[in-house]
């Protein structure tokens, strides 16, 4: 039922706020202001490089941790990084599908192994296919001859073959990914903008409601919430829109 504690909590689980801030102090203020509304907090390379594990310990008090460090290295190194992230308490981590099936599989095994050693739930792993900032000419420059949609499809298939949990996708491609990957696949979509907000540098965008309708299972929102006059109100508005969209499914 829309408006019930259950359905609000379910909607909260679909929202990851991107904590794209420069320091632990600003992170702490921001987390305070969000008042536990989002189910997830996404920590990326800017904040993690600046402040390290302390920021995870801080955010984990209020939400599940999405550690967005987009690992891409030899399988052994990525597996070790995933184990470190698991020990820090990350519930979701990203890696680049272009690292290949052996790297993705090694990461998956490492997450399972470390989680079982610690007796904690296994963190989910999702693959970045082609970054939304990449254009076809950039692919050609790095030696990828096919079209951009072909490259996205190829990398999605690698993610599926490796058995990892999902991919990061533009909300505009989420429906196609959902169709190919089926129900039990995490689709993380950045580029979410409420109908009345500034677009910024994102080009492939959707509203929270339309991202849900397209099959997204985790909506990443940064600036529309962080730069809002009242971030907690902006988060609540997004959660209400998600809840409503879930209710219509």
166 binds ligand C5P (CB under 6 A): no
Number of residues lying near ligand C5P (CB under 6 A): 15
Q: Applying CB under 6 A, does 190 fall inside the site for ligand C5P?
A: yes
Catalytic residue among 42, 61, 70, 83: 70
Q: Which of 132, 207, 216, 217 forms a contact with ligand C5P (CB under 6 A)?
A: 132
Residue numbers 82-121 binding ligand C5P by CB under 6 A: none
Residue 7: other Cβ atoms inside 10 A: 16
In the complex, least distance from residue 117 CB atom to ligand C5P, rounded to whole angstroms: 30
Helices 24-34 + 231-247 axis angle, to 10: 50
Q: Which two tokens stand for residue 198?
A: 């500034």
Nearer to ligand C5P, 31 or 221 (CB): 221
Q: Give the start-end residues of each E strand in the chain.
A: 15-18, 40-44, 64-71, 90-96, 124-128, 166-168, 186-189, 218-221
Establish if 131 lies at the interface with ligand C5P (CB under 6 A).
Answer: yes
| Helix, coil or strand: residue 20 | coil
198 binds ligand C5P (CB under 6 A): no
Using left for φ > 0, alpha for ψ between -120 and 50, and beta otherwise, residue 95 falls in beta
Angle between helices 174-181 and 148-162 (to 10 degrees): 40
Min separation Cβ 21 and ligand C5P, Å: 11
| CB of 60 vs ligand C5P, minimal distance in Å | 18
User: Which of 67/104 has CB closer to ligand C5P?
Assistant: 67
* Dihedral over Cα of 179, 183, 186, 189: its sign: positive
Distance CA 96, CA 167 (A): 9
Nearer of residues 55 and 220 to ligand C5P, judged by Cβ: 220
Q: How far is the CB of 101 from ligand C5P (least distance, A)?
A: 21
Residue number with the shortest CB distance to ligand C5P?
A: 222
Residue 5 is inside which H or E element, if any? helix 5-12
Known active-site residue 70:
yes
Unique residue bearing structure tokens 């259950």: 6
Site string for ligand C5P, 199-238 (x = CB under 6 A): -x-x-----------------xxxxx--------------
Nearest alpha-carbon partner for 216 in 244, 242, 247, 195 = 242
Nearest to 17 by CA among 54, 65, 87, 57: 65
- In this structure, what DSSP letter does residue 236 have? H
Site map 18..47 versus ligand C5P, x via CB under 6 A: x-x-----------------------x---
Q: Please give the positions annotated as active site.
A: 70
Q: Which residues bind ligand C5P (CB under 6 A)?
A: 18, 20, 44, 131-132, 168, 190-191, 200, 202, 220-224
């Amino acid at each position: 039922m829309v408006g019930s504690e259950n359905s609000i909590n379910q909607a909260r689980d679909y929202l990851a706020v991107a904590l794209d801030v420069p320091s632990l102090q600003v992170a702490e203020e921001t987390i305070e202001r969000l008042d536990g509304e989002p189910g997830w907090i996404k920590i990326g390379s800017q904040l993690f490089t600046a402040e390290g594990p302390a920021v995870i310990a801080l955010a984990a008090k209020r939400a599940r941790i999405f550690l967005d460090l987009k690992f891409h290295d030899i399988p052994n190194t990525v597996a070790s990084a995933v184990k470190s992230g698991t020990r820090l308490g990350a519930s979701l981590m990203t890696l680049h599908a272009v690292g290949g099936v052996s790297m993705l599989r090694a990461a998956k095994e490492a997450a399972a192994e470390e989680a079982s050693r610690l007796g904690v739930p296994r963190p989910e792993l999702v693959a970045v296919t082609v970054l939304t900032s990449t254009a076809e000419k950039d692919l050609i420059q790095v030696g990828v001859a096919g079209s951009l949609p072909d490259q996205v499809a190829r990398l999605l298939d690698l993610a599926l073959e490796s058995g990892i949990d999902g991919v990061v996708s533009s909300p505009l491609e989420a429906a196609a990914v959902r169709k190919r990957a089926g129900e039990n696949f995490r689709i993380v979509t950045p580029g979410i903008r409420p109908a009345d907000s500034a677009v910024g540098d994102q080009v492939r965008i959707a509203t929270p409601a339309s991202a849900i309708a397209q099959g997204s299972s985790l909506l990443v929102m940064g600036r529309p919430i962080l730069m809002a006059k009242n971030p907690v109100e902006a988060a609540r508005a997004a959660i209400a829109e998600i809840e409503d969209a879930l209710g219509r499914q």
